[in-house]
């Protein structure tokens, strides 16, 4: 447990429409959480440094209505809420006094947030003490909780409103008309120019000023503030870091990627099916054009044949000899006659063959046209309805296949696992289900048995910590401390 402890300060932005998710999580308004580590029995230990007695949006409206802040010029979907999350590794608190130390630490961290945003602009600030750190719980052999602070605040900057050129009193143009506290996330967290020790701008290779990201400076200020107030034994988080308990984040990101890949594959399959439908609708038109092209080639060959016949008619066959039936020919005329005769024989054979193929193509085309005439008319008159029909048709077919797969899967599970094990597999998370579906055969079975064992241990642990004996022992331990 010699792991280095890092301080983390990160900001997440929300619109008026999206803030509800953060509110439900921070204020513990949900009954169930996607984060399996939330222990609702411990929620009573969460500490509020500033309480919001209404919803976040209603509190925002109160600040606007009383003129304390302004949303002037902002769109309805603008980012008007900041969630500042302040955090250090769970092991840091456990080694310095646990829950009581964490309360004092984050009370000071809340004062840091007040300096950053202004006390009146903070809507809510709560330290979560009910999210269990599974890894450290295993190490210490007792529940270890991940203490961290959520601060919901409004990012505001002071803005001077000046008289414009349209004012009647021209002497006032350019002078300050009023000063407002404008809500602006971009201006609140504007990047700053890097300076050297003498206060001069530091330029890059292209001669442009180097900018330092505002969140990086926030990390610096948080670390310095807490250090100056007596909290040691940790170092500043890495530049640009937004991670807390990186292994957990990476695991969740991996699951999200796998889920996204599964959805993407499904979309591609549906797109391919739809493309095949459209191709079938267009195929008859293509075959028609192909038949017409081949017919034109036949006509061209016939025209060439007629040309050969005309040339032959112009050949001078010469004079008959006085004795015998032979006819004298000029040598060039003889050669031409032989050439055209050969071409004529070949052309006759080719024309006969092409006529047969053309007749077959016409028959096939007319047959296909007859079979698809209603579909082609439907495409012409109501293409959207036709597409929707085929989508529903494919959906029914897909549902039928899905039912067959589910039946086969149930039979497989009944053959391999006990009812208790099947119950565990039926209640695993969607992430784990997506992970299992990547495998087949014996590999899938090994993965399933591994997850069954993992979930069984977790259930046993939950039963243990929820047992009256364990809770009694925990109370005794707390009283002893």
Spatial distance between the Cα atoms of 339 and 178, rounded to a whole number of angstroms = 102
Q: Is the pLDDT of residue 47 over 50?
A: yes
Per the model's pLDDT, the better-predicted residue between 382 and 244 turns out to be 382
pLDDT interval class at 322 (50, 70, 90): very low
Percent of the chain at pLDDT > 90 equals 28
In a domain, 260, yes or no: no
Give residue 276's pLDDT band: very low, low, confident or very high (50, 70, 90): low
CA dist list (Å): 360 to 89, 127, 364:
79, 81, 6
What range defines the domain where residue 424 resides? 417-480
Domain final position from 244, 269, 292: 244
Q: Same domain for 15 and 79?
A: yes
How far is it, in rounded angstroms, from Cα 145 to Cα 102?
Answer: 10
Q: Which among 357, 381, 405 is the end of a domain?
A: 381
Q: What is each CA distance from 449 to 96, 284, 436, in whole angstroms? A: 39, 53, 11
Nearest-angstrom CA–CA distance, 8 and 14? 20
**Same domain flag for 429 and 372:** no
pLDDT of amino acid 70:
93
Phi/psi of residue 307, each to 5°? -65, -40
The pLDDT score that the predictor gives to residue 319 is 47
Which pLDDT belongs to residue 280?
59
The whole-angstrom separation of Cα 372 and Cα 176 is 75
Please indicate, yes or no, whether residues 471 and 327 belong to a single structural domain of this protein.
no
**pLDDT the model gives residue 472:** 84
Where among 381, 399, 427 does a domain terminate?
381
Cα 14 to Cα 77: distance, rounded to the nearest angstrom: 9
Q: Single out the residue of 131, 162, 168, 165 nearest to residue 146, CA to CA.
A: 131
| Beta-ladder partners of 248 | none
| Same domain for 240 and 155 | yes
| Per-residue model confidence (pLDDT) at position 198 | 80
Q: Are residues 320 and 209 in the same domain?
A: no
Mean pLDDT of 303-309: 55
From the list 10, 1, 11, 5, the residue with the least C-alpha distance to 236 is 5
Q: What is the mean pLDDT of residues 406-423?
A: 90
Residues 442 and 321 in one domain: no
Instruction: Please check whether residue 270 lies inside any domain of the structure.
Output: no
In terms of residues, how long is the chain?
481
Average pLDDT, stretch 174-178?
A: 86
Residues 110, 62 share a domain = yes
- Secondary structure (DSSP) of 360-427: HHHHHHHHHHHHHHHHHHHHHH-HHHHHHHHHHHHHHHHHHHHHHHHHHHHHHHHHHS-HHHHHHHHT
- DSSP 8-state assignment for residue 132: B
pTM of the model: 0.50
Backbone angles phi, psi at 192, to 5 degrees: -115, 155
* Res 2: pLDDT: 55
- Would residue 266 count as lying in a domain? no
- Per the structure, how many domains does the chain have? 3
Has residue 105 been placed in a domain? yes
Residue 406 lies in a domain: no
Residues 211 and 303 in one domain: no
Residue 39: C-alpha distances to residues 88, 132, 166, 429, 459 (Å): 20, 7, 61, 17, 13
Provide mean pLDDT across the span 36-56. 90
How confident is the model over 208-233, as pLDDT tens digits?
A: 888 888 888 898 899 999 999 999 88
Residue 1 clears pLDDT 50, i.e. is over it: no
Same domain, 207 and 147: yes
Query: Is the model's pLDDT at 325 over the cut of 60?
Result: no
Task: Write down the pLDDT at residue 362.
Answer: 83
Mean pLDDT of the chain, nearest integer: 80
Question: Is residue 458 assigned to a domain?
Answer: yes
Whether the pLDDT of residue 321 is over 60: the answer is: no
**Confidence check: pLDDT of 293 > 80:** no
């Amino acid at each position: 447990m010699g792991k280095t402890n890092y301080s983390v300060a990160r900001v997440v932005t929300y619109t008026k429409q999206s803030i509800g998710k953060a509110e439900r999580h921070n204020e513990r308004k949900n009954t169930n959480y996607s984060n399996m580590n939330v222990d609702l029995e411990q929620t009573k230990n969460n500490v509020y440094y500033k309480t919001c007695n209404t919803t976040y949006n209603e509190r925002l409206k109160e600040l606007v209505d009383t003129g304390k802040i302004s949303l002037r010029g902002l769109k309805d979907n603008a980012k008007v809420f900041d969630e500042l999350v302040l955090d250090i590794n769970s092991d840091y608190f456990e080694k310095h006094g646990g829950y009581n130390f964490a309360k004092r630490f984050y009370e000071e961290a809340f004062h840091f947030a007040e300096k950053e945003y202004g006390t009146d602009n903070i809507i809510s600030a709560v330290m979560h003490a009910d999210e269990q750190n599974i890894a450290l719980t295993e190490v210490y052999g007792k529940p270890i909780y991940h203490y961290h602070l959520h601060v919901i605040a409004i990012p505001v900057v002071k803005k001077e409103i000046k008289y414009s050129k349209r004012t009647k009193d021209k002497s006032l143009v350019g002078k300050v008309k009023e000063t407002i506290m404008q809500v602006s996330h971009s201006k609140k967290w504007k990047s700053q120019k890097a300076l050297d020790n003498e206060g001069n701008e530091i330029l890059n290779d292209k001669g442009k000023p180097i900018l330092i990201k505002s969140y990086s400076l926030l990390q610096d200020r948080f670390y310095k503030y807490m250090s100056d107030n007596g909290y040691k034994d940790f170092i500043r988080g890495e530049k640009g870091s937004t991670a807390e308990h990186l292994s957990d984040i990476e695991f969740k990101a991996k699951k999200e990627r796998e889920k996204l890949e599964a959805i993407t594959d499904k979309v591609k399959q549906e797109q391919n099916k739809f493309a095949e439908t459209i191709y079938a609708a267009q195929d008859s038109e293509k075959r028609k054009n192909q038949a017409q092209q081949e017919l034109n080639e036949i006509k061209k060959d016939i025209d060439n044949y007629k040309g050969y016949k005309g040339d032959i008619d112009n050949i001078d066959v010469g004079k008959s000899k006085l004795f015998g039936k032979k006819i004298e020919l000029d040598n060039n005329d003889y050669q031409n006659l032989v050439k055209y005769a050969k071409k004529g024989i070949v052309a006759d054979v080719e024309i006969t063959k092409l006529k047969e193929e053309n007749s077959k193509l016409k028959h096939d085309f007319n047959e296909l046209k007859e079979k698809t005439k209603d579909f082609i008319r439907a495409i012409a008159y109501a293409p959207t309805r036709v597409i929707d029909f085929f989508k529903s048709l494919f959906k029914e077919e897909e549902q039928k296949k899905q039912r067959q797969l589910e039946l086969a899967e149930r039979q497989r599970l009944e053959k391999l696992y006990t009812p208790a094990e099947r119950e565990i597999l039926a209640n695993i998370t969607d992430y784990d289900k997506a992970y299992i579906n990547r495998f087949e055969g014996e590999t899938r079975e090994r993965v399933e048995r591994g997850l069954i064992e993992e979930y069984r241990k977790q259930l046993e642990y939950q039963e243990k910590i929820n047992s009256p004996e364990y809770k009694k022992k925990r109370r005794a331990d707390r009283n002893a401390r």
